[in-house]
Amino acid sequence: MFAPRIVSHATSRCLRGALRSHPSPILSRLEPVKFTKSTGFNVIRSLRTVHPPAASTRGTSISLARNLNPLPKRRFSPVLLQVRRYADAAAKAAPGKVKKPRSAIVKACIRTLTMFGFIGAVFGGAIICFFIYDATTYSEDPEVIDIPVSELALNPERGGPKNLPIARVLVDDDESEGRFNCKHKPKLVILGCGWGSVAILKTLAADQYHVTVVSPSNYFLFTPFLPSATVGTLELRSLVEPIRTILARIKGHFLQAHAEGVEFSEKLVEVSQIIDGEKRHFYLPYDKLIIGVGSQTNTHGVNGLEHCQFLKTIDDARKIRKRAIGNFEKAVLPTTSDEERKRLLSFVICGGGPTGIEFAAEIYDMLNEDLIRHYPRILRNEVSVHVIQSRSHILNTYDEALSMYAEERFARDHVEVYTNARVQEVKQDKIVFSEKTDDGKVLTKEIPFGLCLWSTGVAQTDFAKNLATQLDKQTNKHALETDTHLRLIGAPMGDVYAIGDCATVQYNLAQNIMTFLRDIAWEKGKDPKEVHLTFKDWQTVALRVKKRFPQAGQHLRRLDKLFQQYDVDHSGTLDFKEFSELLSTIDDNLTSLPATAQRAHQQGQYLGRKLNKLAQVAPGMHANGLLDGDLDEAYYKAFEYKHLGSLAYVGNAAVFDVQGYSFAGGVAAVYLWRSAYFAQSVSLRTRFLLFMDWAKRALFGRDMMDL
């Protein structure tokens, strides 16, 4: 039985319309029923009694069919379906009078065409809107207004140890209300516009500081995709974002120049720029200085690196691309001998870390996907790719299974990998290296090359080296040392920070032993060296250690076990010697943080948040006269690095080492790899360009031009 409620409005409307316009004997059967929503049920029952449809009811049926046929199927309730069945039967009895229902194929075609028409209309509309918008972006009469510029900006006073101009005011400090408001805020100077610096700029709240970025490049470079740009998978412009665009939100300033040195006592950075061949120096004053100048390629003292290519900057990627394509063109010339062709088509990569491996993978992809399409096929047969790695595996910082996966994949793709091999010298057209065999023999080998990439780790920039020599407490030869609040050790406290590749966090837990013991000793009224820590004391100290050195937290999970292990004399307490032993062991287990974009980014975000906090509490601190002391420690937690994982592209496959889980895979993993970095991209503009590049490669292939 149908319940009255299932007769929809549409049903009763149809029935009513049909029966009113065709008074027939059926109506007399239905009288005195009125066709309302709730009585539709009775109508159906009445209609069902007319079986088969009589001639007298045909008019009604035809009308019903006309009313019902145009309704989309999904709108038929079970009741309506019955009505329709009835109507169809009636229609058959009166052919030619009823509009024949359309076949399913015709309906599908109409629907598809309607859909395409709709989509076309939307796109057409969008294109028209875009052109209208585009037309509004051209300005024929630029607005010329008077811009106030401070006299001090045009003619800076001189001073400092070298009596150089001091840029206390910049030419755009007064140009708008927003900038003018920032003019008298604390001066925050950031050196470099890489991963660390950009993370700060993106985290800083607007209008808190007068921000100036100093860097020789006026763009941020998205390095993880740099290997893809060397072969044209991605375009160089898709990897960069103008630093001025990033600075606009916080009304910051940019000076394209090199930082040369820092006068810590006078809070001045010495900056230089070459204009028309003349090197000009000036000072930039700061209240807070952040050093994020990155690193340079480590040469390991090998001779002949001038014959190698590096992969650190946009220019490097451009040079590699030009050289590779140039070599392909030379290799097809009739004057090129066989031996020369093989050399031109030999790619040697020194360094089996992620950068070297990704470059080898990209070269391999290009050879298979584009070289064979555009160049004589003989070239593909004569191309060779070689990787020279000093360790026993490539990608040796990844899980072993992933290294093996990458090695197997390279073996399958005929990429030759030499492990336990050290480069001795690079000559103009060949590389000389030694390889340690499994039986311990050391063999000297040579490989002629047309292109050699040197990618063997990072070293300090000259600027960072100079700073380290200025500060007695800086003893690390590889990077500037900071404390866990990222403050440069040796510089006045709270003035200078260092982040990213140029810096390393110094833990030295054992050296801080007295700090930890002092408070406990004070409570017990003893000399710190004579304090014996009970388990309760040890729990308190462990909390302090964790707060000051968050990275040590993972080694302080089982306090009871550690206590038992280091209580050598089983006295139930830890004496000074036992406690220092314990801290030294934790110290040894604390590895230095990796020189990666991930680390630089986290440090930048941390500093950005801390600077926001310090700006917030500054008025209160000034009011209470709290201007000195360890304000960072008082107002913000120490920096803790959280390793999110490592990824690498290995040629139409990718490997992931994420939080203790490792996995590798083919094209699906490549999409995951791309997505992970795509999400990290700094702007909508670069995301759009990256997407277009990937689409372009898929549709048209890579551009094989040495532009």
Ligand X SMILES: Cc1cc2nc3c(=O)[nH]c(=O)nc-3n(C[C@H](O)[C@H](O)[C@H](O)COP(=O)(O)OP(=O)(O)OC[C@H]3O[C@@H](n4cnc5c(N)ncnc54)[C@H](O)[C@@H]3O)c2cc1C
Query: Applying CB under 6 A, does 397 fall inside the site for ligand X?
Result: no
Is residue 495 within 8 A of residue 289, CB to CB? The reply is yes
**Interface residue with ligand X, options 191, 361, 453, 654 (CB under 6 A):** 191
Distance (Å, rounded) from C-alpha 21 to C-alpha 120? Answer: 41
- Nearest to ligand X of 463, 497 (CB atom): 463
Query: Applying CB under 6 A, does 293 fall inside the site for ligand X?
Result: yes
- Nearest to ligand X of 448, 645 (CB atom): 645
Q: What count of other Cβ atoms lies within 10 Å of the Cβ of residue 245?
A: 13
CB of 597 to ligand X, least distance (A): 3
Residues in 296-325 that interact with ligand X by CB under 6 A: 311-312
Q: Which H/E stretch holds residue 296? A: strand 296-297
Distance (Å, rounded) from C-alpha 355 to C-alpha 431? Answer: 19
Q: Which of 455, 417, 427, 422 is nearest to 343 (CA)?
A: 427
Residues in 234-273 that interact with ligand X by CB under 6 A: 258-259
CB of 455 to ligand X, least distance (A): 7
CB of 200 to ligand X, least distance (A): 9
Query: Applying CB under 6 A, does 645 fall inside the site for ligand X?
Result: no
**Interface residue with ligand X, options 64, 214, 486, 509 (CB under 6 A):** 214
With CB under 6 A as the contact rule, which of the stretches 25-33, 40-48, 208-216, 407-415 interacts with ligand X? 208-216
Is residue 164 within 8 A of residue 158, CB to CB? The reply is yes
CB of 594 to ligand X, least distance (A): 8
The DSSP letter of residue 574 is B
**Interface residue with ligand X, options 216, 448, 550, 645 (CB under 6 A):** 216
Distance (Å, rounded) from C-alpha 422 to C-alpha 303? Answer: 13
With CB under 6 A as the contact rule, which of the stretches 20-28, 386-394, 496-504, 571-579 interacts with ligand X? 496-504
- Nearest to ligand X of 91, 464 (CB atom): 464
- Nearest to ligand X of 76, 641 (CB atom): 641
Q: Which H/E stretch holds residue 220? A: strand 219-221
211 beta partners: 188
**Interface residue with ligand X, options 19, 79, 193, 593 (CB under 6 A):** 193
Query: Applying CB under 6 A, does 63 fall inside the site for ligand X?
Result: no
Distance (Å, rounded) from C-alpha 52 to C-alpha 57? Answer: 10
With CB under 6 A as the contact rule, which of the stretches 2-10, 189-197, 424-432, 618-626 interacts with ligand X? 189-197
Distance (Å, rounded) from C-alpha 202 to C-alpha 226? Answer: 22
Interface size with ligand X, residues (CB under 6 A): 34
CB of 195 to ligand X, least distance (A): 4
Query: Applying CB under 6 A, does 482 fall inside the site for ligand X?
Result: no
CB of 383 to ligand X, least distance (A): 22
Site of tokens 């809070």: 267
Query: Applying CB under 6 A, does 292 fall inside the site for ligand X?
Result: yes
CB-side neighbour CA atoms (13 Å) of 519 = 11
CB of 538 to ligand X, least distance (A): 37
Q: Is 149 helix (H, G, I), strand (E, B) or coil?
A: coil
Q: What count of other Cβ atoms lies within 10 Å of the Cβ of residue 529?
A: 12
- Nearest to ligand X of 540, 683 (CB atom): 683
Query: Applying CB under 6 A, does 460 fall inside the site for ligand X?
Result: no
**Interface residue with ligand X, options 231, 517, 597, 664 (CB under 6 A):** 597
Q: Which of 226, 220, 180 is nearest to 198 (CA)?
A: 220
Query: What does residue 131 show for φ and ψ, rounded to 5 degrees?
Result: -65, -35
Query: Applying CB under 6 A, does 353 fall inside the site for ligand X?
Result: no
- Scanning 235-309, the segments in alpha helix (DSSP H) are 243-248
- Nearest to ligand X of 227, 450 (CB atom): 227
CB-side neighbour CA atoms (13 Å) of 684 = 0
Is residue 226 within 8 A of residue 326, CB to CB? The reply is no
With CB under 6 A as the contact rule, which of the stretches 202-210, 222-230, 408-416, 465-473 interacts with ligand X? 222-230
Is residue 190 within 8 A of residue 211, CB to CB? The reply is yes
Is the torsion defined by CA of 524, 529, 535, 537 positive or negative? Answer: positive
Residues that bind ligand X (CB under 6 A): 191-197, 214-217, 223-224, 226-227, 258-259, 292-294, 311-312, 354-355, 461, 463, 500-502, 595-598, 600
